[in-house]
Chain A
Amino acid sequence: MNLYDPLTANLTHYLFFTGKGGVGKTTMATATAVKLADAGKRVMIVSTDPASNLQDVFETKLTNQPQPVPGVAGLDAANFDPIVAAKEYRDRVVAPYRGVLPEAAIQNMSEQLSGSCTVEIASFNEFAKFLTNPTIDQRYDYIIFDTAPTGHALRMLQLPSAWSNYLDHNQEGASCLGQLAGLGKQKATYQKAVETLNNADLTTLMLVTRPQRASLIETKRAAHELAEIGMTNQRLIVNGVLEEPTDAASQTIYGQQQADLRDMPGVLSQLPSAEVPLRAYNVTGLTNIRALLQVQQPTITVQSGQHIAFPSIDRIVTDLIREDKHIVFTMGKGGVGKTTVAVQLAKKLSAHHKTVHLATTDPADHLSLFKIDDPAITVSHIDEQQVLKDYQDDVLAKSRQTMSADDVDYIAEDLRSPCTQDIAVFRAFANVVAQSDSDVVVLDTAPTGHTLLLLNSTENYAKEVKRTTGEVPQAVRDLLPRLQDAKQTEIITVTLPETTPIAESLRLNADLERAKMPHKWWVVNQSMLAVNTTNSILQARAKGEMKWIDQVKAVSNGYYAVEKWQSNYEQVNLTV
């Protein structure tokens, strides 16, 4: 594979970097922008990633208005945090009614405006502005977007076509899009944004991946889904390829990376691709950004290999047993290893004579890796896509009995809402918990605080009016109070010792806090620090993890564990 070089890559006017949290999107986008600007091009970089560290990278304060980056002639940058924007929007909407409407009404409003819909609409709004502004179009040779992590990015990018349909069909006004007042007026802007995204001469999707099987599978999914909505001009950048193994640990990594790249999913291997080697430094500051894509690298100063002992997840297992927990969730964004931690916990709980039911939402690609020999562990699989589809089919079937085809289409439109998926999955694991007679149920995904609050408020409302609205299933109603009960439930946050995953985990935690869900333990997964190595690049990487592990130690009040990096962790850890 060739080294990634933006100058010879024949790039289009608009570039979108995408990939799940922690693959190095911001790094790749930034290095591309600086390289192009240094070659005399006029470039703008826009960050819409809520976990963006663009300001740290450039060591300057940024706003949502483009401004020059000190030290790089020809480069402007803008930073936009959709979470902050959504919050500002919510505050703006709710504020005038405080003291006017009763507190219960204010709370009801506020929670409805705290969901992912509001965040996604806020981000797309901003995104479309940059995409369709003629001044920006003319002023710059390249406009580079560092988009949010995959799941979020997918939705955001999928929204244009979905929204166009919404705006065409939904004349009743109130829908998920009703959340931003006056949205319909911007239809022309959105249409133009969609056309630009789908124009292969103007727009390239830069898929950033790690040279690891799980990351490649995730990337394949993103590539496929985005191609389906019309973004067919795609390139692959493999970030973090280890070049020269020098000891056992680095040899293992090298072997694993090369094997995973060789077995890359076919769809990806057909894309134009390039690689960026694993570097010994974190890419902050202009010196490092400029060095990243150079062939000639600065010499590495090797640190003395101090070995630090970290607490292992055995601590967590002991605590779960002592506190007699019955429901254990592992929570985190895609790619942090929720499933491997869940499997580890199940095995260790079983070793302590507990019967365990393990419910996984991991995509079916991994399912073949589960090998169950332990009779004390039962496994079930929740297919999120299937669960959502069942829910949609169920609703549509019922609707068809009483409605005209026109009206059924309208219902189908509402079923595309992102909240629908969260709720559908929650219903599925409520069933798993209700049906299990094991001592402990371990689930490798957790409801967000927002989902729980929505369900809670519906349930409270139902109690207040002495009836249920709709048919809240019994399993869901039973599960709600149990989830907030710290005597039975523990939600373990799984994260990686890197910028984006930590920022994402902190946000998920704030959400749990809001919903009063018990969450004491943190697991820092895939830590290089916990590995013994003399390889200078790996040692340098490991040193960079220290600040993140320290941060986890602080926010968790010491309730944390560190799992060391394992090259073949899928094979090892998914075997029960």
Chain B
Amino acid sequence: MSRRRIVFILLLSFVLFFSSNTFAVEAKRTVLPNGLILLQSRQSYLPVVHVVLLIKASAFDEPPDKAGLANLTSSLLMEGTTHRTSDQISEEIEFIGAELGASTSRDYTVVSLSVLKKHLNKGFELFSDILLNPAFSEEEIIRKKDLIKGSLKQAEDDPSFVAARAFRKAIYGEEHPYGRLVSGSAETIDRITRDDIVDFYKTFYRPNNAILAVVGDITMDETRALLKQFLGNWKSKDIPSRRSYTVRRQKEIKIIKIDRDLTQANIMLGHLSVKRSDPDYYKLQVMNYILGGGGFASRLMTKIRDDMGLAYDVHSFITSNLDIGFFRVGVQTKNPSAKEVIRVIVDEMKRMQEQSVTEQELKDAKAYLTGSFPRRIDSMAKIANFLVLTELYGLGLDYDRKYPEYINSVTREDIKQVARKYLQPQAYTLVVVGKIKETGL
């Protein structure tokens, strides 16, 4: 299937925009005696229940020389408990047509379950078993390490993976958890022992370090009964505070060229931006929509694809993270066009700083960002993820009602001001993966 375009995600999945007062998530927030934050939303249009548990355990909480520990720990949850083998877990969960999984990203780990209402008890029992009783057997640890290392090797064939890894390393350095892969490298994975995993699990997988969303065809009473039965014995414990890292904004241009036998140059250009909690965050998102985040409405797409025919897709985004995020433009173009495309990107960054955006551009950006809200919470799974992330980033239960205000208050002057403050057309990191000789770089 050949899609005309990259599905237009805007890379704002962490933000989930709200615009309408008539369509908001009705959710209840409760803090349980063991410290677990429960967010519950009843949606009875389908006989389905989605459970998302967010645990504040990620690369932030592992030593750099054992990078991949958080990821390895979560990926082993499915591979056996004190009651069930790995095969039994997958057999039982797949038999009821449910989905159960655990994964780690930059700021947190998520354990999730999607199940038909009629199999909820069985599904939740399995969910609690992998969460509370993981076995972490030596055999499964070896097996999982091998698979992760094999996948890392395979990923070397993906130019965007290679480029993104180099980009992160360049802007954050290897010490910062955002500067390396969540999965770690073959070398750091090999250093992880079973004791490391068990310690990590015991330290961070605690109710007072977690947020649980239960969304779907289930009442509050049913939810409470389920939690009492299956998570009643989950005990709280003091969590060590996260180490803080400092990163410096770069002062000059840094270029990384990686030579591969490819027809296209895979280009990534960008630099550090702000934390999710920064008051300038919303202004930056509006600015980014106009520059390169707004799909076919963006300046970069108009120039590079529509006017010049030099790329299938070009986009920019600003990450939303607990710690400092980054701004990045990504594009693929045939090797000989690389230089020209890079010039256009840098010129557009400068133009953002020098001239105000037009009234029309600002109006359209606001209309999209606020008007697309209902689609961001139009399924149970999206609502569950939305709830745990608004909680994690401290956005408040009334975020849905406040969001349009955050966006609509942004002015043309604000956009110019944040472009001047944060865009760095004179001091960026550029990564090019392609046939370097043909690019002339």
| Chains A and B bind each other | no
A-contacting residues of B (Cβ < 8 Å)?
none
Chain A interface residues (CB < 8 Å from chain B): none
